[in-house]
Structure 1
Amino acid sequence: MSQASAPATTLQDIISHAKEYGFVFPSSEIYDGLQAVYDYGQNGVELKNNLKQVWWKAMTQLHDNIVGIDAAIFMHPLTWKASGHVDGFNDPMIDNKDSKKRYRADQLLEGKAEEYEAAGEPEKAAALLAKMGALLGAEKLDEVRELIIEEKIVCPISKTLNWTEVRQFNLMFSTQVGSVAEDSSNIYLRPETAQGIFVNFLNVQKSGRMKVPFGIAQIGKAFRNEIVARQFIFRMREFEQMEMQFFIKPGTEMEWYNTWKDTRLKFHKAIGLPADKLKYHDHDKLAHYANAAVDIEYQFPFGFREIEGIHSRTDFDLKNHQELSKKKQQYFDPELGEDGKAIGNYIPYVVETSVGADRLFLATFCNAFTQETGEKERTYLKLHPALAPIKAAVLPLVKKDGLAEKAQEIANSLKSSFRTIYDDGGAIGKRYTRQDLIGTPYCIAVDYQTMEDNTVTIRHRDSMEQERIAISALKEKIGYEVAMERILEAI
């Protein structure tokens, strides 16, 4: 079958398929939803959990010096003072006076840079991004507005240049802790999971007798009051992060930064994202805590966008927590230096890897969404077998003559090894299609020959080829293909 004439996948294709087949639903949809908040359906939660599990194994199982924690969402308010979020966690916003719509100033300029790239003018794009980075870094917001007007960037709705001044908006959600209003205190929903790792640095190091270099991994929810939330689950107000902070000796940060940069790209390729849809993007404007930063970007239907960031955070976080808490955040290194003496106490530097679970889900889903044309048109999700929500579906040819009972027996025998379902509703061709649409890699057909010789037909999702094998060989054959080890071996 040829895919050459298949229509280009749009974001709307992805959104529609995700809802119709139980992957992602708008939150509170019966009340017309809540902007930039989504729920994962029965198939979506399986895919997302599989992505989280393989990330967790890749971090904590493949590395002897990385362990995991699960820190609380609520943290002492001074945590966010030390991290810089209270004073500096802002987005530059601009309003169009005619449409009354609000935009992120940096995204308007980035969009213009993409237009230059598409027009074959990469130098113009690079110059624009560099200028924007310098202005934002220097907090010259009035000049950012002037740059938007100079580049003739109009509001997509009003088509005018009638812009307000650029203002900074803090993105943290605040709430109260305490049973009585007058006794309550303001705290924040965490805007990132990293600080839960930093404040537990010494707890983990001492209790686990960890030696630098070592890492702490965490998967958890974070919350940001995005003013301009868009592009489905790519940018949400409630999202999930998979982060690892790697603590190292000062002076070794660039070596480890490059190591993790390579390691994380291998991970994305191992789960099935193609090399030609992945690229590095070095930051033009560094965050206040970083001395080097790069994004791994994936080519979504709406262009290349970040799915993971690798940052050299220096000793910014631990140093600030030490100063504000008055508790030493130092590591005693017993190794000998060049003079033969113990290196002694120091605050470790940190290299961070931070991937958005929701963005990784969206990249995986977009990449898997396949529309074939030719003799027979077909839509299916080409997911890595280890990531598929359901690994195998057992389908009796008909529901009579004992075939249904035999198929149910086979399904029950496989359930303890991998996610297996039984389906006898409708013609078998339609059942194959249903499984294709949710990405099930293997369909097991039970027919009259099965009753005679205990063999079944396995249909492969991607090729639609079929092979006859013994029931006794199913668990080993399918179990091998759908195991997480197949991904971990490729990293």
Structure 2
Amino acid sequence: MEELVALCKRRGFIFQSNEIYGGLQGLYDYGPLGVELKNNLKQSWWREMVFDRDDVEGLDASILTKPSVLKYSGHEDTFTDPLVDCKECKSRWRADQLKSKNCPSCGSDNLTDPRPFNLMFKTSVGPVEDSDSFAYLRPETAQHIFTNFKNVVDSTSKQLPFGIAQIGKAFRNEITPRNFVFRVREFEQMELEFFVVPGTDDQWHESWVEARLNWWNQQGVNKDNLELYHVPEDELAHYSKATVDIMYKFPHGLEELEGIANRTDFDLGSHSKNQQDLDIHSSVLENNESNARLATQDHDSKKWTVPYVIEPSAGVDRGVLAVLNEAYKVEDLGDGKTRTVLELKPHLAPIKAAVIPLKKNHEELVKIASEIKKDLQKLRLGRILLENSGNIGKSYRRHDEIGTPLCITVDFETLEDQSVTIRDRDSMQQNRIKISDLSNYLEGLVLN
């Protein structure tokens, strides 16, 4: 983990937030390369979930959330962690994460009894601060999908089964943020709520678990480093009939990368009015405030049905950490030499290609390199960088370390035959190619 953290800061992937003022625990900023990697991971998820399917629509809902939404979803009552204080050093800890009953900071066993701590952030809405003018920062992206269910159905005429996808920020006031970007207080989620006919939910649940495993593998996460954890009944969330967690071998240990839950009809039922007219799961809370019936009606029988929901939910930040961990390699080149390389999948790489004039500031070489850069940038595959450093060896090593899959060298032979040298990041093999063939070559590399 220390090597990844150092690389992320040195090369501009991830920085400690508010660092010049001492930092703020559990918050991180994504730098020039990190924001590209993060966006590429989100775009890959969006393509998989929305663009490549005919049964999923997208949503981008608000972060500020009316308290009644999180009251009837069950969050106000259940979204808590057990908190203990050390009476000696005054530090605070999650009771369920203490490996012993001693304080991890000072070793004292003089701890308070565990007490529930609500993880949701509150903020004031409007000019007057009082008990009736607050809202929550959403602790997950799911609830606004459920409250928009009728809007999406009415505007798209979707029929079961179908899904609603959303990527967005969520906020949890974690007691002990830890392990770099793995557990933080401000993070992003990639969530799909897939609505199905009750009775078909078990089959869909299994299908989505397999689909999500395959997707992570396509992002470069080795299946050997993934495990499925079938959450025991006594550990399930209040809304869940069954949950399967995709566990990944992070640098700090085996922990959850993504959860796929069968949420039954709990959420749509919780936010629906006229519940007595609907066949709803028995654990749903009584609702007296909602003005919507979040259900679908059969055209022939006119019977209303509250769909069951399968929810694949992944953390973007955890995904970035897993992808970086998988890609990070230190290779022995012999003669006491090593190289650090990020073997990122080309579609995730922050820089798709670096164009490098062999001689720094050589007018003709730089002119051709600039034209190549502009032409490749027009493909809209991602960032193309002009590297006018004059040191080809150092340029190769730098781009190995940040995961650039292709380096294109413009040399003096280019002036004669309009060809360039292309170098593959992983194999380090070099070949000559015509400038006119570069666009097709790069597209094949990134899009396949």
- Please, what TM-score do these two structures have when normalized by structure 2? 0.92
SS of corresponding position for 2:370: helix
SS of corresponding position for 2:257: strand
Deviation at 1:438, TM superposition (A): 0.9
Q: For structure 1, which segment, 206-215 or 156-165, has the greater mean C-alpha deviation from structure 2 after superposition?
A: 156-165
* Aligned-partner Cα distance in 2 for 1:468–1:362: 35
Matched, 1:473 2:426: no
Q: Deviations over 1:3-43 (max 9, x none)?
A: xxxxxxxx111111101101111111111111111110000
Structure 2 counterpart of 1:450, from 406, 409, 414: 414
Matched, 1:19 2:9: yes
1:44/1:188 CA distance change after superposition, 3 Å:
same
Given that residues 27 and 185 in structure 2 are in contact (C-alpha distance below 8 angstroms), is that contact kept between their aligned partners in structure 1?
yes
1:435/1:30 CA distance change after superposition, 3 Å:
same
Letter in 1 for 2:343: K
Matches within 5 A, 1:124-143: none
1:182/1:308 CA distance change after superposition, 3 Å:
closer
Structure 1 counterpart of 2:269, from 304, 319, 325: 319
SS of corresponding position for 2:269: helix
Deviation at 1:374, TM superposition (A): 4.0
Matched, 1:360 2:319: yes
Given that residues 93 and 167 in structure 1 are in contact (C-alpha distance below 8 angstroms), is that contact kept between their aligned partners in structure 2?
yes
Matched, 1:44 2:25: no
Unpaired runs of 5+ in structure 2?
Answer: 273-286
* Aligned-partner Cα distance in 1 for 2:227–2:414: 49
Letter in 1 for 2:250: F
Structure 1 counterpart of 2:111, from 163, 168, 172: 163
SS of corresponding position for 1:306: strand
Structure 2 counterpart of 1:100, from 72, 90, 112: 90
Match of 1:430 in 2: 394
Deviation at 1:171, TM superposition (A): 0.3
* Aligned-partner Cα distance in 1 for 2:291–2:377: 53
Match of 2:244 in 1: 294
Structure 2 counterpart of 1:397, from 342, 351, 358: 358
Matches within 5 A, 1:92-491: 92-108=82-98, 152-181=100-129, 185-284=133-232, 285-322=235-272, 323-324=287-288, 325-334=290-299, 342=301, 344-375=303-334, 376-399=337-360, 400=362, 402-417=364-379, 418=381, 419-483=383-447, 486=448
Match of 1:124 in 2: none
Deviation at 1:359, TM superposition (A): 0.7
Letter in 2 for 1:26: Q
* Aligned-partner Cα distance in 1 for 2:56–2:295: 19
Deviation at 1:249, TM superposition (A): 1.1
- Count residues in correspondence: 426
Q: For structure 1, which segment, 269-278 or 365-374, has the greater mean C-alpha deviation from structure 2 after superposition?
A: 365-374
Q: For structure 1, which segment, 366-375 or 43-52, has the greater mean C-alpha deviation from structure 2 after superposition?
A: 366-375
Q: Deviations over 1:411-460 (max 9, x none)?
A: 11111113211011141101111111111000001111111001110001
Match of 1:86 in 2: 76
Letter in 1 for 2:307: P
**RMSD of the TM alignment (CA)?**
1.6
Given that residues 176 and 184 in structure 1 are in contact (C-alpha distance below 8 angstroms), is that contact kept between their aligned partners in structure 2?
no
Deviation at 1:184, TM superposition (A): 6.4
Q: Deviations over 1:318-342 (max 9, x none)?
A: 11111341422121133xxxxxx73
Given that residues 407 and 446 in structure 1 are in contact (C-alpha distance below 8 angstroms), is that contact kept between their aligned partners in structure 2?
yes
Deviation at 1:182, TM superposition (A): 5.9
Deviation at 1:87, TM superposition (A): 1.3
Q: Which has the higher contact order (CA 8 A, sep 6+)?
A: 1
SS of corresponding position for 2:181: helix
* Aligned-partner Cα distance in 1 for 2:167–2:271: 22
SS of corresponding position for 1:267: helix
Match of 1:66 in 2: 56
- Please, what TM-score do these two structures have when normalized by structure 1? 0.84
* Aligned-partner Cα distance in 2 for 1:360–1:236: 13
Deviation at 1:86, TM superposition (A): 1.0
* Aligned-partner Cα distance in 1 for 2:105–2:268: 45
